[in-house]
Structure 1
Amino acid sequence: MGKLVRDKIPDIIRQDGREPAVTVLGEAEYRAALVAKLFEEATEVSEASPMEVAEEIADVYEVLRALAAANRYEWAAIEKTAKAKREERGGFQDRLYLA
């Protein structure tokens, strides 16, 4: 079973003396792989230590940026939408949990 990897990973594998089996995905497969990668990275955030969490959040951020681009959204548009939702519905700073 394969998985989506960052662009430079095949080169890193080659530098280690191995030859990776790489496939370039079509648009639909790429979007599906990004969603799967988002779940993978979110799981890693949930399992990260306090020292590791920033790096794992950065991975989630990178996947979200790629997912936006794959769906033809500029990141600035995503930020604008997030700001509008935050203004209308609030953020998560108050730690509210509905039971």
Structure 2
Amino acid sequence: MRVYNKLVRDLIPQVIENTGSKFTTRTLDPPEHLTEIKKKLFEEVQEFQVTTNHQDALEELADILELIHAALPIHEATYEDLEKRRIAKKEKRGGFEEGIFLIAVEDE
């Protein structure tokens, strides 16, 4: 038996069941769920970093976005709340579209 001990997408048990394999799962409580979301998010970001084409990059970005959606209810927030926060920060400090790379700031 192969041991995974990791957060998986909600339909993975059905996928495994359809193959005829036996498996064990449990439902995480909110603090554990958030911990595992953070671990999985780190994993997905690492996978995004090594992508070499647009298709793979979009797949990893979709996984990252799904994990963000999963984390929001744990923080008692909606995607709309997050989007408002994102827009407010962008209006105040800008986004990341222009690719500005800060090299140094001279101390006074």
TM-score range, shorter chain: over 0.9
Size of the aligned set, in residue pairs, is 99
- TM-score, normalised by the number of residues in structure 1: 0.94
Deviation at 1:49, TM superposition (A): 2.5
Root mean square deviation, CA, Å? 1.0
Which segments of structure 1 move beyond 6 Å, counting only runs of 4 or more? none
CA distance in 2, matches of 1:49, 1:9: 26
What SS does structure 1 have at the residue aligned with 2:59?
helix
1:7 partner amino acid: D
> What fraction of aligned residue pairs are identical, expressed as a percent?
33
| Partner in structure 2 of residue 17 of structure 1 | 20
Aligned match of 1:31 in 30, 34, 43? 34
1:56 partner amino acid: E
Structure 2 alignment gaps of length 5 or more = 104-108
Deviation at 1:44, TM superposition (A): 1.1
Aligned match of 1:85 in 81, 84, 89? 89
- TM-score, normalised by the number of residues in structure 2: 0.87
**CA deviations over 1:59-78 (Å, ceiling 9, x no partner):** 00000111112211011000
**CA deviations over 1:31-61 (Å, ceiling 9, x no partner):** 1011111101111111123131111100000
What SS does structure 2 have at the residue aligned with 1:52?
helix
1:49 partner amino acid: T
Structure 1 alignment gaps of length 5 or more = none
1:29 partner amino acid: E
